[in-house]
Amino acid sequence: MSETVASRGWAIIVHGGAKDIPPGQEDVHRDGCLRALAAGRAILETGGHAVDAVEAAVRALEDDPTFNAGYGAVRNGDGVVELDAAIMDGASLAVGGVAGVRTLRHPISVAAAMLDETPVLLVADGAEAFARAHGGEFCEPADLIIERAGDPGCDTVGCVALDRHGDIAAGTSTGGLSGCHPGRVGDSPLPGCGLYADNAVGGVSLSGDGESLIRTTLAARLMQSLEALPPDAAIKAALGRLEKVGGEAGLIVIDAEGRVGWGHSSAQFAVAHARQDTPAKAFTHRSQDAEKDLA
Ligand code: GLY
């Protein structure tokens, strides 16, 4: 643990997806992000680990039908649900990810259980078999689906946390892309695309058009920019890179210095963040957040 990080304390940021938030739905998005933030924050405040904080925050988002992850997922082109999730530990560079799962109540927790195991990514039946062997929670696939009038019901949730030990973790979870090709996997469970964490640099979690994020390896690009730039500038560079292929994104960041940043090219992006020395705040658009980098 470096003195710099220890003196700055913990930090956490969560998001509820880069998307159009239907009129009148801003408050439930902000409130849902604040509840998830509180779940992660409770762990960080008591000296707990970043990985556990990220898992707790993402579980709260997976429980909230406002968001397309866990309970609140959408139907693919075959009318069934396929969930993806991943978590990365910036201390060890361990990654756990699941893709195309249909019966897992909390995909992020199964991904977290994989952090001590060799596989980085398990799909479909293999991931569900792993969950059965490791005490995963199961549910009926149909129980996860929420039909939303006027809401595209797509995209991802995520969290990045820095703990008092100086460790950083990042996580993602998605209920898929409405009407997508069966078996399609987006950026969310892919390190370097939807998330990455490395204590030496920071942690990032992304949301948006999965194919564009994969084609630009946008999480890896963002991490590379963070080696030289503060979060807001690194996010701007990453969004510039995305223009090469088109598509929308939302990005959340905590760097190794404990600076928090976020940005998006989507119409809206619900986010909540807090640091040891800064109260929790929630927004649905970057322009509402006056404190650049919370420096
Ligand atoms: N960003 C989520 C997905 O494209 O699957």
Domain harbouring 217, CATH code = 3.60.20.30
pTM (2 decimals)? 0.95
Average pLDDT for 140-163: 80
Domains in the chain, number: 1
Rounded to 5 degrees, φ, ψ at 279 are -65, 160
Query: 70 in a domain, yes or no?
Result: yes
Residues with CB under 6 A from ligand 1: 155-156, 174, 177, 186-188, 207-208, 210
In angstroms, the Cα distances linking 114 to 88, 94, 161, 269 are 10, 9, 19, 29
| Catalytic residue IDs | 156
Residue with CA nearest ligand 1 atom 4:
210
CA 2 to ligand 1 centroid distance, Å: 35
Rounded to 5 degrees, φ, ψ at 71 are -70, 110
**Number of residues in the chain:** 295
Residue range(s) defining the domain that contains residue 96: 3-286
> Token digits for 279?
């109260």
Query: 241 in a domain, yes or no?
Result: yes
- Give buried/exposed letters for 38-58 (b at 16+ CB in 10 A, else e): bbbbebbbeebbbbbbbbbbb
Query: 155 in a domain, yes or no?
Result: yes
Contact criterion met (CB below 8 Å) for 110 and 202: no
Query: 292 in a domain, yes or no?
Result: no
Q: How confident is the model over 237-256, as pLDDT tens digits?
A: 999 999 999 999 999 999 99
- Helix or strand holding residue 113 (H, E): helix 107-113
Give the pLDDT score at 152: 55
Closest approach atom of ligand 1 to CA 194 = 1
Per DSSP, 6 falls in state: H
CA 266 to ligand 1 centroid distance, Å: 13
Query: 293 in a domain, yes or no?
Result: no
Q: How confident is the model over 33-43, as pLDDT tens digits?
A: 999 999 999 99
Task: Return d(Cα 63, Cα 148) in angstroms, integer.
Answer: 16
